[in-house]
Amino acid sequence: MSSKLYIQNRIYNVNDRLIALDLYERIIDWIDKGLLADMKEPYLPFKSTNNTSVDQEVGIFEMDVQALADCSGVVGYFDGWTYDPGCGFEIGCGYAWGYPVNIISTDIFTSSVGDSQDFYHASRLVEHISNFAAVSDLNQEITDYRQRNMDVLERALTVFKNNLIRDFGTPRPAPVPIQSLPVEYDYYLDPNFKYTESGQMLLEKIKSAIQAAGKTCVTGDNQGDIEEDIDRLRKSGQAILLFDAVEPNIDSAVLGGIAYGIGRKPIVYSSNKQRIHMSGRFVCQLNSMNCYSAEKVVESLEELVKVIGE
């Protein structure tokens, strides 16, 4: 395993690719200045491979997961009202493999779910498992609009750099992965089923199917004690995760990454009929990281019930 950082970031449009490249180049500069001990060139999907030898989704998944396995930390941006679920998988898997996770956010929005009055830039789960450098306040004393926004970015990157130096400024021991625990529940049910009326109805039907099959389940809680909820996942034979949109709740993707990282591939439920056509190469329903890290992707309640009954 290399002392190397894996850069997770949206890379599907030129603006996102340029900001990811800027982060890559800054990390190279910090390495050259000796701020990050024994650190090698970071891995940035698409750039590090030129993306010339892989033309299938499963190939991209395998290539990026191998690259993640060869790294020792995960970094990147979490900005925007929605998040790339592939990035969620990467930070969840990296966390499960014992990597420090360092995230930057300049987002002015915070959000909450359920009845919680706690608001987060990404989510309670994401901010618990990462060093989260969030800076969004504009310095109104700076009159030039561009400079005012660049000031936000530079302050966020300064916090991020200091976090990285704390984690990687001196040689660190090999990562210690978190382990699965003896199974107490057959299934861990995605807490994000709870946050819509349709999701709640689906959740009750899934619970009934599990009970009818003589099996057990526990529903996750991503608004309570996060360590306890991760332990629920670790004590479950398999997670059932809700991916009923092209970009699902980020916690579903993170939980999928953790499940994959501890060696218990999840079941992904996705009745979504939307498809994405990517660069003329393939059509996909889910992000490849979430699709190919799953034990099974089911597209209907009927199909899920059959899987539960097996």
Q: Label each residue of the chain as H, E or C.
A: CCCCEEEECCCCCHHHHHHHHHHHHHHHHHHHCCCCCCCCCCECCCCCCCCCCCCCHHHHHHHHHHHHHCCCEEEEECCCCCCCHHHHHHHHHHHHCCCCEEEEECCCCCECCCCCCCCECCCHHHHHHCEEEECCCCCCCCCCHHHHHHHHHHHHHHHHHHHHHHHHCCCCCCCCCCCCCCCCEEEEECHHHHHCHHHHHHHHHHHHHHHHCCCCEEECCCCCCHHHHHHHHHCEEEEEEECCCCCCCHHHHHHHHHHHHCCCCCEEECCCCCCEEECCCEEECCCHHHHHCCCEEECCHHHHHHHHHC
* Residue 52 confidence (pLDDT) above 60: no
Residues 65, 71, 74: CA angle, nearest 5 degrees = 85
Does 1 have pLDDT greater than 60? no
Question: CATH number for the domain including 268?
Answer: 3.40.50.450
With 60 as the cut, is the pLDDT of residue 54 above it? no
Query: Could you say which of 140, 168, 196 is where a domain stops?
Result: 168
Q: Is the pLDDT of residue 278 over 80?
A: no
43 and 163 assigned to the same domain? yes
Whether the predicted model's global pTM rises above the 0.85 cut? yes
107 and 68 in a common domain: yes
Give the residue with greater pLDDT, 111 vs 40: 40
- Per DSSP, what are the bridge partners of residue 267? 240, 296
Residue position matching structure tokens 């999928």: 256
Highest mean pLDDT among 55-64, 113-122, 183-192: 183-192
Are 105 and 131 members of one domain? yes
Helices 85-96 and 250-261 cross at an angle (nearest 10°) of 40
- Within a domain: residue 105? yes
More confident site: 100 or 119: 100
46 pLDDT exceeds 90? no
Confidence of residue 12 (pLDDT cuts 50, 70, 90): confident
**Residue 71: which residues within 8 A CB-CB, separation 6 or more?**
1, 2, 4, 5, 6, 42, 43, 94, 99
pLDDT tier for residue 185 given thresholds of 50, 70 and 90 = very high
- Check whether residue 69 and residue 154 sit in a common domain: yes
Band of residue 197 on the pLDDT scale cut at 50, 70, 90: very high
Q: Give per-residue pLDDT as tens, 133-147.
A: 999 988 999 999 999
> Is it the case that residue 291 has pLDDT exceeding 80?
yes
Q: Is the pLDDT of residue 179 over 90?
A: yes
On the question of pLDDT at 169 being above 90, the answer is: yes
Q: Are 11 and 160 within one domain?
A: yes
Distance between CA atoms of 79 and 297, rounded to whole angstroms? 28
- If asked whether residues 14 and 156 sit together in one domain, one would say yes
Environment class of 46 (CB within 10 Å of its CB; exposed 0-12, middle 13-18, buried 19+): middle
Mean pLDDT of 226-239: 98
Examine the pLDDT at 53 and tell me if it is beyond 60. Answer: no
Q: Averaged over 175-184, what is the pLDDT?
A: 96
Domain housing 139: 5-168
Question: What are the tens digits of pLDDT across the range 147-157?
Answer: 999 999 999 99
Residue 174 belongs to some domain of the structure: no
Question: For all residues of the chain together, what is the average pLDDT?
Answer: 90
Q: Which of 29-43, 230-244, 268-282 has the lowest mean pLDDT?
A: 268-282
Q: Distance (Å, rounded) from C-alpha 153 to C-alpha 119?
A: 21
Is the same domain home to 255 and 140?
Answer: no
Cα atoms in the 13 Å half-sphere on the side-chain side of 141: 0
Q: pLDDT-derived band of residue 290, with 50, 70 and 90 as boundaries?
A: confident
In a domain? residue 242: yes
99 and 10 in one domain?
yes
Question: Cα(258)–Cα(93) distance, rounded to whole angstroms?
Answer: 5
Q: Report the domain count for the chain.
A: 2
190/148 same-domain check: no
Co-location of 115 and 206 in the same domain = no
